[in-house]
Amino acid sequence: MKIKNALLGLSVLLMVVSCKTNPFTGEKNLNFVSNDQLFPTSFEQYNQFLNEAEVVNNTEEARKVKRLGEDIVTAAERYLNANGYQGFMNDFKWEFNLVKDDQANAFAMPGGKVVVYTGILDEAQNTNGLATIMAHEIAHALADHGAQRMSAAQLQQLGAVAGTVAVSGRSESTQQIFAQAYGLGSQIGVMLPFSRGHESEADRIGLTLMAIAGYDPREAPELWKRMQANSGGQAPPEFLSTHPSNATRINNLTQWAPEAIAEAKKYGSTTFK
């Protein structure tokens, strides 16, 4: 009982003292991991990935990936400075690389390391489509989603330990039932919705950043319509996925695009590339 109470107390303490304000939403987010802890490891892993990947250099597509990334980061800095978050990106070391891979995918690592696979360029189709992808990944990095996922995983592990301690005096079958129920329940009921929430948040923040940078956010739902058409209907049900369904994203992006345009006008962005 003492161990269980100690674990519970530690979990509550971590949740109370380890929050960081999201500068784009104003919300307090769970975050146990500092930039000093996370970024060096992220940078090392990114470099290792690039050493093992086929990085595309000195092509128009590779230059466009870098140019759009830099434009959107500049827009993010304008937004952050205007809203009282000067210096927020001081620890970030932005890098944008195009990698030859047939996957229709892109990803961002903590601290501003972004990869776009060549396989997603056909889906992007145009500059605004690629800007949608780039802005989404940059938003993940700026919103500290990597650190939040690590923090949530730590709490999930603490909950598993506390539960295991609580049922340690019960029968073996009871312990097995708890382990299975906790694993499934925490994954479907907590971790997957947490991940989907991050994806939607990155979509919404990304729309604002691309609009401030001068790219048309109304093209974002068109990108996802193409993604939906090319998915072959093979996506899992939304509640079992780390990402919102294509239909959900299309609906959200359509609703949020006018908000992004209105926000961009505050920064003098009234026409789009």
Residue 4 predicted with pLDDT over 60:
no
Any domain includes 273: no
Any domain includes 169: yes
Any domain includes 225: yes
Q: Which of 44, 77, 95, 137 is catalytic?
A: 137
Any domain includes 147: yes
Contact (CB, 8 A) for 162 and 8:
yes
Q: What is the pLDDT of residues 57-99, one digit of tens each?
A: 999 999 999 999 999 999 999 999 999 999 999 999 999 999 9
Q: CA-to-CA distance for 4 and 136, rounded, in angstroms?
A: 40
Q: Supply the range of the domain harboring residue 192.
A: 2-11+18-265
Any domain includes 95: yes
Q: CA-to-CA distance for 179 and 95, rounded, in angstroms?
A: 41
Residue 178 predicted with pLDDT over 80:
no
Any domain includes 240: yes
- pLDDT for the residue numbered 26: 87
Mean pLDDT value of segment 29-49: 88
Note if 137 is an active site residue.
yes
Total domains in the chain come to 1
Residues present in the chain in total = 273
In this prediction, residue 268 has a pLDDT band, given cuts at 50, 70 and 90, of confident
**Closest to 76 measured CA to CA, from 256, 272, 208:** 208
Q: What is the pLDDT of residues 201-232, one digit of tens each?
A: 999 999 999 999 999 999 999 999 998 888 76
- pLDDT for the residue numbered 84: 95
Share of residues in the chain with pLDDT > 70 (%)? 72
The mean predicted confidence, pLDDT, of the chain is: 82
Any domain includes 140: yes
Mean pLDDT value of segment 175-201: 60
Any domain includes 270: no
More confident residue, 23 or 175: 23
State pTM to two decimals.
Answer: 0.80
Angle at CA 254, nearest 5°, toward 251 and 256?
105
29 DSSP β-pair partners? 20
